[in-house]
Structure 1
Amino acid sequence: MKKFKFLFVMMLSFIIILSGCSSNKETSGNSKSLKVWQMGAASWDPLIKEFEKETGIDVEIQAIPWDQAHDKILTAVASGKGPDVLQMGSTQMVQFAGAGAFLDLTDKLDEYPNMASDNFYEGALKTSVIDGKTYGIPWHVDTRLLYYRTDLLGEVGYPEGPETWEDLLDASRQLAARGDDQYSVDLGTDINHIWSYAWQQGWEYDIEKGAENFADPAFKKMVEYYQTFYEEELSQLEKGKDGVQAFADGSKPMFFSGPWMMGIVKEQAPDIDGKWDVRVMPDGGTNKSMIGGSHLSIFHSTKKEEQALDFVNWMASPETQLKWYELGSELPANIKAWEDSAFTDNSMVATFGEQLKNTETPPNIKENNRIGQEVLKMLEQVAHGNKDIDSAIEGLQAEVSKILSE
């Protein structure tokens, strides 16, 4: 894949140069306005009214679904007609920043105090800084915790939830022994969960090692745990009933998920109010969880760099990110925002803040998504097809080698 990657970067860079030349011929338009692309469903419109009032800058928000974001950005680069500021998913940064799609903000950090790196969680910075240069400012963060039924886990000796992977396995065996159609934990098939389970066994991805990363005994240990949960029917192979329903009726008293599930469980399962909680990830040597979220970047062809920087600086403030949490329920990337009572007085939300101090990012390479899909295929062979683990991992290494060499 090296040739393909080289051609992609060269083509994208060439397009950027051409679009920059053509865009220089265009008028800058109203200097007191900004075009901003927001990814996702909820709108920033109510949030930015205060910024418009303070600065006199009109902000035009265009909402773009996440599943359309990648193609939309490619088109913008090709045409040279992109926004001034755009929201970027953390896993998208490496591809576009490496090709020059965004302004380098490194030299601006000292001028704009809200954009300073020490304001943010370390994990959030890993995907916004490429080759030592800052191309995005963390906007919101996301991580995963273990949701568990305090009453049912208490009955098997873990009222505060399992602290380690050994505890998780012990509790799961007791819970599954309750009878037919009784399981313990929904492990899920989200690749971000899988990365987390591997990190918790001490695995790390080293870009220099490539496919050899998956020969690490720590990665194999994760696969062994995964197989055990399905082989012993502690987790359900089939999709089964709705996840919240299974959590409510106790047939699946544990699952891993993000902060949005707190509201969903409270709304859809009010009968178990007071009978469930969240805790940090189980420890298998570490208890690292994934960190995701988004960043705010400035498009390379903007004619309004100063206004764009003012906007990003305002959005990066703890006050603005706190207001967005109240409106959109997305966790703030600015650490100072977590000092507010909205987080300190809510033990469940505070647990997410605790976990955010111990996180890791998925492999920060362009091929991350493709490799992740191969990992999931391998795990399906192990869990559903009872394939030998060593053979499955060898097959995974072969596929990863192909991806990285194309």
Structure 2
Amino acid sequence: MKKMNIKLFTIMLLCAVLVLSACGGNSNKSSGDKSDSKSSKTLNVWQMGNSDWTKIVGPYEEETGVKVKIQGIPWDKGHDKLLTAVASGKGPDIILMGTTWMQEFVDANTFVDLTDYLDEYPNLASDDFFDGALETSVFDGKTYGIPWHVDTRLLFYRKDLLGDVGYPDGPETWDDLEDAAKQLAARGKGNYAVDLSLTDANLVYSFAWQHGWDYEPDLGADNFTKPEFKQTIERYKTFYDNKYSQVEKGKELAQAFSDGTKPMFFSGPWDIKTIEDGAPDIKGDWDVRLMPDGGTNRSMIGGSQITIFKSSDNVEQALDFINWMSEPETQLSWYKVKNELPSRKEAWEDPLLADDPMISTFGEQLESVQAPPTIHGGEKVGQEIQKMLEKVARGGEDIDKTLNDLHQKVAKILKD
């Protein structure tokens, strides 16, 4: 009996130890899981252009315990790196994409379709973003990216010099711009009116919209035979033939703007700082204004999209991070770091932007913007447009001939 009691006691004691161990183990595992889900989780991010997000993500890491590992990818290497990731299926959790690459990589099935997730996150509602920015993230009714920053183009102009030729507030229409350019170029050798880029196809699209052109996908290459597109190229030719614009590269931007040899140029918000730093002597003598109106004053919208790579195992955590990045306060923090404009409309109500007359003009232009045409092989099409402009501006080739050549080359790109 005593032996039986000792045996029974031993069994009971062993059971108690096992139960306590199990309870303790469960408690530790639960706590450990929670800790592991925070402290040991890492989000891998490819940031096209640079890795400057490291300057703003600290609060998110502290709040969640998630490590955000950011790798900056130079733009000139980004396209090939993305192609390799798509082919191998090995990439990061999150990719900050330039808007002009979105169509190509959506077609390549690169990103997670975010459509069904949007209602779960308060900062991702479509109504909170500029319509133009959404055009570069939604394809066939499905959302593949969340707009991060936006940019557009305005006309930078010298108030004093434009005032001398009758346009102190800058030219409002394309006819005004041409009239002002004629007078400014007449100041003598070495003086031009406006810097027109021969290497920016998106700017060509903007000017074409302002002349009444629109890209219709069903027409394909025939879009470039429309009379409105021809009128746009004729306008370019007028500015170069009459030396309103300089074909050669010429002086550095801030210098040419400062000395008045090129008192107008089209650019984005980043060049506000370029002029402030590079030409402090003309402070108060220059401003920005909306794009010239030729029936519309639509400008192009650029910027970037935050996307989730299709092979990510951290989709929910990536969405949480994107939701945090889309808070107006976060976007304003980024503006302070990089001067890139926020995609969330609410952020524009902050005095930092609303009380800055130049920046608020960019906000006004963002209400009249359009995404560059979504074209299969869009980068190649853009390169052909640049070649066509070179022929018109430098070679003096016939516009009908160059546009016919462009039509044939675009048709081949679309067919391939």
Equivalent residue for 2:55?
46
241, 246, 251: which is aligned to 2:251? 241
CA distance in 2 between counterparts of 1:73 and 1:31 reads 27
Q: Cα distance, 1:77 vs. partner?
A: 2.3
Equivalent residue for 2:352?
342
2:349 matches 1:305: no
Q: Cα distance, 1:116 vs. partner?
A: 0.9
CA distance in 2 between counterparts of 1:85 and 1:53 reads 19
Letter of the structure 1 residue corresponding to residue 390 of structure 2: E
CA distance in 1 between counterparts of 2:55 and 2:93 reads 19
Equivalent residue for 2:236?
226
Equivalent residue for 1:4?
none
1:61-210 to structure 2, matched below 5 A, reads 61-189=70-198, 190-210=200-220
Equivalent residue for 2:16?
none
Q: Does the 8 Å contact 1:85/1:296 carry over to 2? A: yes
Q: Cα distance, 1:382 vs. partner?
A: 1.6
CA distance in 2 between counterparts of 1:223 and 1:335 reads 34
**1:148-199 Cα distance to aligned partner (Å, 9 max, x none):** 0000000000000000000000000011111111110001121121111111
2:33 matches 1:34: no
Equivalent residue for 2:261?
251
Q: 1:308 to 1:42 in 2, by over 3 A?
A: closer
Letter of the structure 2 residue corresponding to residue 130 of structure 1: F
Letter of the structure 2 residue corresponding to residue 271 of structure 1: D
2:314 matches 1:276: no
CA distance in 1 between counterparts of 2:250 and 2:141 reads 46
CA distance in 2 between counterparts of 1:106 and 1:244 reads 44
Equivalent residue for 2:334?
324
Q: 1:30 to 1:83 in 2, by over 3 A?
A: farther
CA distance in 1 between counterparts of 2:240 and 2:325 reads 44
Q: Does the 8 Å contact 2:39/2:66 carry over to 1? A: no
Equivalent residue for 1:19?
none
Letter of the structure 2 residue corresponding to residue 235 of structure 1: S
Q: Secondary structure at the match of 2:215?
A: coil
Q: Does the 8 Å contact 1:42/1:328 carry over to 2? A: no
Q: Secondary structure at the match of 1:351?
A: helix
Equivalent residue for 2:275?
265
Equivalent residue for 2:408?
398
Letter of the structure 2 residue corresponding to residue 207 of structure 1: P
CA distance in 2 between counterparts of 1:224 and 1:75 reads 41
Q: Cα distance, 1:29 vs. partner?
A: 11
Q: Cα distance, 1:350 vs. partner?
A: 0.6
Q: 1:302 to 1:182 in 2, by over 3 A?
A: same
Unaligned 5+ residue runs, structure 1?
1-27
2:64 matches 1:55: yes
Q: Cα distance, 1:30 vs. partner?
A: 7.5
TM-score, normalised on structure 1? 0.91
Unaligned 5+ residue runs, structure 2?
1-36
CA distance in 2 between counterparts of 1:378 and 1:98 reads 28
CA distance in 2 between counterparts of 1:50 and 1:102 reads 26
CA distance in 1 between counterparts of 2:147 and 2:203 reads 22
Letter of the structure 2 residue corresponding to residue 115 of structure 1: L
Q: Secondary structure at the match of 2:56?
A: helix
Q: Secondary structure at the match of 1:293?
A: strand
Q: How many residues align?
A: 379
Q: Cα distance, 1:226 vs. partner?
A: 0.6
CA distance in 2 between counterparts of 1:101 and 1:30 reads 28
CA distance in 2 between counterparts of 1:81 and 1:400 reads 33
Letter of the structure 1 residue corresponding to residue 180 of structure 2: A
CA distance in 2 between counterparts of 1:145 and 1:274 reads 18
RMSD: 1.4
CA distance in 2 between counterparts of 1:160 and 1:167 reads 11
Q: Does the 8 Å contact 1:31/1:304 carry over to 2? A: no
Equivalent residue for 2:14?
none
CA distance in 1 between counterparts of 2:248 and 2:375 reads 32
**1:53-74 Cα distance to aligned partner (Å, 9 max, x none):** 1112111111111221111122
Q: Cα distance, 1:94 vs. partner?
A: 1.0
Q: Does the 8 Å contact 1:128/1:295 carry over to 2? A: yes
Identity %: 59
Q: 1:273 to 1:29 in 2, by over 3 A?
A: closer
CA distance in 2 between counterparts of 1:29 and 1:92 reads 33
CA distance in 2 between counterparts of 1:403 and 1:70 reads 19
CA distance in 1 between counterparts of 2:392 and 2:91 reads 45
TM-score, normalised on structure 2? 0.89
Equivalent residue for 1:21?
none
2:302 matches 1:289: no
Q: Cα distance, 1:31 vs. partner?
A: 6.0
